[in-house]
A and B are shown apart, each in its own frame.
Chain A
Amino acid sequence: MSTATPLPAEHDRASGDNYLTYTRGLRSWIFSLDHKRIGVMYLIAIMASLALGGIFALLIRTELAAPGETIMGRNFYNQMFTLHGAVMIFLFIIPGIPAALGNFVLPIMLGAKDVAFPRLNLASLWLYVIGAAFFLLTLATGGLDTGWTFYTPYSTETNTRVISAATGAFVLGFSSIFTGINFVATIHTMRPPGMTWFRMPLFLWSLYATAVIQVLATPVLGITLLLLGAERLLGLGIFDPKLGGDPILFQHFFWFYSHPAVYIMILPAMGIISELISVFSRKHIFGYRFIAYSSLAIALLGFLVWGHHMFTSGQSKLASMIFSALTFSVSIPSAIKVFNWLATMYKGSIQLRTPMLYALSFIFLFGIGGLTGLFLGALATDVHLTDTYFVVAHFHYVMFGGTLIAFLGGLHYWWPKMFGRMYSEASAQVACLLVFVGFNLTFFPQFILGTRGMPRRYFDYQGLLGEHPEFTGYNLMSSLGSYLLGAGMTLILVYLLHSLWRGRPAPANPWGGATLEWQCSSPPPHDNFATPPVVGDPYDFSRLEYDAAQQAYVSTEGLEGKKLGTRG
């Protein structure tokens, strides 16, 4: 077969068929069963949530920029940090990567036409919108001041809108479960010939591990919130000691979901990083099986460590010891991944495009986030550090420095595929730098605040300055950093939107990825693939070559699969 044979991608481009223009009108979107359109709608929704949560964050940091009351009162501040947490966790970071990016790329990467249950997929999106509406209702009718953790008995006693917020989280839980069911079923049943488990890209392994947690852990959150509602509405004594309940029981229930949920947030991020490091180093991923198995190990061990949130709750010494030991066991698979990524870069051909910059930022920031977890997993040091700003900083290094940075990396990586446009590389690199510097300036001082004893969720630190005059300076640094971070995030939004109208049309394979989504056109056709694609090694880059004229990578073998087995 000669290299002149057009790729399927070029056929599609020529015929003008792509999922964005396949049908027109609002109804064709909001009732669409196409996983790509659902992914795009999810993307818009979660970006709006990210913006909302980000505004709350900037308000919090502005209040804390100086001691004393600066721009808001105590009760409003308590609502702000509660809503920042609730919006970011339930509306952005849990659905972020799986429901938006995962929905779009999972079937294409797998070589399938769609997910296993397209209607369930649409239902998941609609449940998300309904859940988000409950959160907005909460905001409009008096807010919520329990912290995103809803700890009892505070949450049974407060006069803010616990019921509407809990209903929102309950509905969002089902949205998450539906996505999980869909991904598990799709990966089990819809792999085309040749796509064996160990030929799956690692992003799919991580989405699979995530989906397993979503399906198994989320129902516990649903039950817990139902019980909380029953206590508030019917006076059933479950968690409130005044009614004969046990407040610590709530913490066990809550963290039984919410700790695995942390892995719902971070595992897909790790999957993205595996893809980015390999593609932009143009080298086969190192330790494929170890990375794949480590995702499953994290998913399973993640169920057994919830008690590490409760070392000072009064739980028994034996329980604390066991939970501490198990916690350390989860740290090992994460370390394995980081070492494997570094080994992948060794002797690679590394290109510092924007997605790779995010991948390197991830290794840096997640490195700090992961290592600071050691302080919290160890019992003696956790007693001092828990419920201080150290935890806030650790959590943000893992969730923002990890998940959100990987999300941005994935977004920049798949953006040309999703919308068929290239964004401005120069603007993107500036924004990435702003985000990186702003992030560290915001959150690194919080480690110091925490180790020196500043408790989290404090409206004010005036009363702490007698013993700790240094708190003023670190808080100011953190607040200034947050504005830089906000500026970086805004810049990203601006040039991405700009690219939709003014961006250079994207080629099918701008980065040289070897996974299947780069074989179809950008944006992909409605049916993803005209004929089932033939599957090779997702990290074999030897059959791709850069063509300067097209500014894209093209296959050196003509039609995929015809010469399978003869390597470059």
Chain B
Amino acid sequence: MTHSLAANMMLAGSLLAETDGGFWLPPARSTTAGAVDQLFYFILGVSAFFFALIVVLMVLFVVLYRRRPGDPAGEAPSHSTALEVFWTVIPLVIVIYIFYEGFVGYMAMRHVPRNAYDILVRAQKWKWIFSYENGHEDSDLHVPVNEAVRLTMTSEDVIHSLFIPTFRLKMDVVPGRYTTTWFRAVRPGTYDLYCAEYCGTGHSDMLAKVVVHEPGQFAKWLQEEGDLLKKLPPAEAGQRLVALRCASCHTIDGNPGIGPTLKGIWGQTHQFSNASPTVVDENYVRESILEPAAKVRQGYTGVMPTFKGILSDQQITAVIEYIKTLK
């Protein structure tokens, strides 16, 4: 008995953070999510009570005091200071409590623990780039389980917002400044990450995954990924770069996306809405990456951001080598 009680109490501690979320919320998978959910369901209870009270009284009065011919309204006072004070003070006390709980939960989200693991986040239309300590960059967010992770975020173009529903986490990613947020994931698995601040054409395509690694697996994964890129031949490095940087708008299977496909374009002559026809060669691809607005393909709008200062010459060369292979 005592044993299972102790086990239950230990479970209760982690259950606070890890619940299935109930009908209204997605599963909770971070240490701060439990408090958010508790407050959510408390407010839901309060709201349901007051809403029921209002509707029941309203329906009751309509039924009881329905107008009947020749029957004037009853006598009732038209003001009562005591009643007004009563229904001012009760809601006031309740909202002060809600405010307090909301504030406490918020401070826990904003106060980053010391020794948190750092990951840099860059948002660009319409892609997430997560950079790790060894220089590896990834389009998905990989993190260790049960460890505090701090995200230091900035945007390369417009405002985005990093949103992980299962962690109850959201923070805007703003150009020209850094914003930070943190979390501690409580269960290995793969979760959705969305952009929540409207950012244009591909806003609803700006999705990524959060991969929470089993204990000990994260460091291994990071090492393997970090070594891989340096050893790769240019075309394969280019393939990874395209997947990371370009694939949200440019497909490699011949279908049009937000931008034209990259398949089979090498050596073709393209038509433009704002320039004379040009053959796709090294210089054209380089120009398209650095000055996308210079030549806009017919049938598309010029929404692509520049990669000047973002991709190095070596990386651009790798991308070109990869495009050559897409026949």
Residues of A within 8 A of B (CB): 74-75, 78, 145, 147, 151, 153-154, 157-159, 241-242, 245-248, 281-290, 311-314, 317, 320-321, 324-325, 328, 331-332, 335-336, 338-340, 342-343, 345-352, 360, 363-364, 367-368, 371-372, 374-375, 377-384, 386-388, 448, 451-453, 455-461, 463-464, 466-468, 539, 541
Contacts and interface: CB of A to CB of B under 8 A. Distances in A.
Interface in B43-102: 43-44, 46-47, 50-51, 54-55, 57-58, 61-62, 65-68, 71-80, 83-84, 87-88, 91-92, 95-96, 98-99, 101-102
Given A247-B174, A346-B65, A350-B62, A145 B159 contact: no
A284 B78 contact: yes
Nearest to A314: B179
Contacts of A346: 61, 65, 76
A325 B54 contact: no
13 contacts: A246-B176, A287-B78, A345-B65, A347-B75, A349-B65, A349-B73, A350-B61, A368-B51, A371-B46, A379-B103, A381-B105, A459-B204, A467-B191
Q: Among A363, A372, A384, A467, which residue has the most Cβ atoms of chain B within 10 A?
A: A384
Given A283-B73, A328-B99, A457-B203, A317 B301 contact: no
Given A346-B76, A374-B43, 11 more contacts: A282-B72, A314-B174, A347-B75, A348-B61, A349-B67, A367-B54, A380-B36, A384-B165, A384-B169, A388-B163, A453-B194
Interface in B266-306: 301-302
B168 A384 contact: yes
Contacts, number: 275
Interface of B: 23-26, 35-36, 39-40, 43-44, 46-47, 50-51, 54-55, 57-58, 61-62, 65-68, 71-80, 83-84, 87-88, 91-92, 95-96, 98-99, 101-110, 157-159, 161, 163, 165-166, 168-172, 174-177, 179, 191-192, 194-205, 207, 258, 301-302
Contact of B171 (A157, A288, A312, A335): A312
Contact of A383 (B104, B106, B158): B106
Contacts of A75: 201, 301
Among B58, B88, B204, residue most surrounded by chain A Cβ atoms (within 10 Å): B204
A331 B192 CA distance: 34
A332 B35 contact: no
Contact of B73 (A281, A311, A352, A374): A281
A505 to B, nearest CB: 24
A154 B202 contact: no
A328 B96 contact: yes
A380 B204 contact: no
A452 B25 contact: yes
A455 B196 contact: yes
Nearest to A462: B204
A383 B169 CA distance: 6
Given A348-B65, A368-B51, A374-B46, A342 B204 contact: no
